[in-house]
């Protein structure tokens, strides 16, 4: 535990002075009582327990005073509190590769089921948005606390060609920071090439200018990226992750599928789809997030449960003066009540 105003702890020097004053008053009362001839009778009537009990209220009051002085010094400690991640963006892959059946019944169905389970576990005050991406990305549900709207958006997924992971991250960032002036069109489509220009050039189009912050430092939002990790089009995934890192947004990546992959057919063409773990791990590491592997529907559900635990609780270094003040008030109140109960007076 640390103190923001440690110099205020000098007030604790008052405590021994008060203790000395208390014993001084007791001694004066004792000397005054010696004037009465019936002193021995009074002592006998009070008993040892009664004489000891009269010191308890002043002792509690002294403890309350010490705790209050500690509160004035503004103590701070690392404690576990509900997370400040008030907005969570689910960025989900809806490319044709998600129809692969190496996760039963298939990747997209397992992903939808796990995503809905994750949504149900979130606190009611957390806003959740949904971004889908294939050859491009789109917001299918703006951040909301309405769980029914979120589930409906997840159920509406339609598989399409292409996998633009970078686009999914960029659209998620624009959703988290709607006032930041992120030029999504330039970043995703570029000017000349259909796959977009390098993001280090496209960033120049962003308005207003911003100052990068430490990765993972923005605690009011997070992105959960679920994909097989195989980018086929759109902006570079790592460059998009760097944009998230510059804004302090953590990206938790969930890899679905198997590294051996599966050959799938779609509208007259076929391809082998494999899980690209290296890219997903790089995205998570760069943004101070975490990578999770989901090789089956059961694993995927466990992944989302793990994400839920990580996003709901977190350790923070914060001031706890209010706790000490409340404790001091309770102790002082108990002291006064005992004194009234036993001696019909306050201290």
Residue 240 phi/psi, 5-degree rounding, is: -65, -40
pLDDT digit string (tens) for the chain, length 347 residues? 888 888 888 888 888 888 888 888 877 776 665 555 555 555 555 555 566 777 788 888 899 999 999 999 999 888 776 666 689 999 999 988 888 887 788 888 988 988 998 898 888 888 999 999 999 999 999 999 999 999 999 999 998 888 899 999 999 999 999 888 788 888 887 644 444 445 555 554 445 567 899 998 888 899 999 988 778 888 999 999 999 999 999 999 998 877 665 555 555 555 556 778 899 999 999 999 999 988 777 777 777 877 777 776 667 778 889 999 999 999 989 988 888 887 776 66
In sequence order, what are the beta bridge partners of 130?
90, 141
Give the CA angle between residues 254, 258, 263 to the nearest 5°.
Answer: 125
Position of tokens 């002792």? Answer: 59
Per DSSP, the three-state class of 206 is coil
Question: Do the bridges between strand 2-3 and strand 75-82 make them parallel or antiparallel, or are there none, so unpaired?
Answer: antiparallel
In sequence order, what are the beta bridge partners of 227?
255
Rounded CA-CA distance 212/247 in Å is: 6
Is the Cα dihedral 226, 150, 240, 213 positive or negative?
negative
Nearest one of 120, 88, 79 to 218, comparing CA atoms: 88
**pLDDT confidence of residue 201:** 53
* Cis status of the peptide bond prior to 208, with omega within 30 of 0: yes
* Number of Cβ atoms within 10 Å of the Cβ of 240: 28
**pLDDT confidence of residue 96:** 83
**pLDDT confidence of residue 166:** 93
**pLDDT confidence of residue 194:** 44
Rounded CA-CA distance 347/177 in Å is: 58
Rounded CA-CA distance 257/303 in Å is: 13
Question: Angle between the 107-121 and 297-312 helix axes, to the nearest 10 degrees?
Answer: 30
Residue 287 phi/psi, 5-degree rounding, is: -100, 5
Question: Angle between the 321-343 and 56-72 helix axes, to the nearest 10 degrees?
Answer: 160
Q: How many CA atoms lie within 13 A of 133 on its CB side?
A: 32
Domains delineated in the chain: 2-78+318-343 (no CATH), 84-295 (3.40.50.410)
Residue 83 and residue 220 in contact, taking contact as beta carbons nearer than 8 Å: no
**pLDDT confidence of residue 196:** 47
């Amino acid at each position: 535990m640390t103190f923001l105003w440690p110099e205020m702890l000098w007030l604790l020097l008052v405590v021994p002075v008060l203790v000395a004053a208390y014993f001084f008053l007791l001694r004066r009362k004792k000397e005054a009582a010696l004037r009465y001839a019936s002193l021995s009778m009074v002592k006998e009537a009070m008993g040892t327990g009664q004489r000891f009990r009269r010191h308890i209220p002043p002792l509690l009051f002294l403890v309350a005073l010490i705790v209050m002085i500690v509160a004035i010094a503004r103590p701070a400690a690392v404690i576990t509190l509900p997370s400040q991640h008030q907005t969570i963006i689910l960025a989900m892959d809806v490319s044709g590769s998600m129809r692969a059946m190496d996760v039963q019944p298939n990747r997209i169905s397992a992903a939808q089921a796990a995503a809905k389970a994750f949504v149900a576990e979130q606190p009611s005050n957390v806003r959740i948005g949904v971004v889908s991406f294939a050859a491009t990305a789109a917001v299918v549900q703006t951040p909301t606390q309405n769980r029914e709207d979120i589930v409906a958006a997840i159920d509406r997924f339609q598989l399409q060609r292409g996998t633009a992971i970078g686009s999914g991250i960029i659209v998620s960032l624009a959703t988290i920071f709607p006032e930041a002036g992120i030029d999504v069109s330039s970043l995703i489509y570029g000017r000349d090439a259909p796959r977009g220009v390098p993001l280090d050039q496209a960033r120049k189009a962003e308005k207003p200018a911003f100052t990068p912050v430490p990765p993972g430092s923005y605690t009011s939002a997070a992105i959960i990226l679920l994909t097989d990790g195989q980018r086929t089009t759109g902006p570079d995934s790592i460059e998009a992750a760097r944009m998230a890192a510059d804004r302090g947004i953590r990206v938790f990546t969930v890899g679905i599928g198997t590294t051996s992959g599966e050959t799938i057919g779609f509208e007259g063409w076929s391809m082998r789809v494999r899980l690209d773990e290296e890219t997903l791990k790089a995205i998570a590491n760069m943004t101070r997030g975490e990578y999770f592997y989901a090789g089956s529907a059961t694993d995927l559900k466990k992944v989302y449960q793990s994400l839920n635990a990580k996003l709901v609780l977190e350790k923070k270094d914060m001031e706890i003066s209010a706790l000490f003040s409340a404790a001091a008030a309770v102790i002082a109140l108990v002291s006064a009540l005992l004194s009234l109960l036993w001696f019909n007076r306050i201290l």
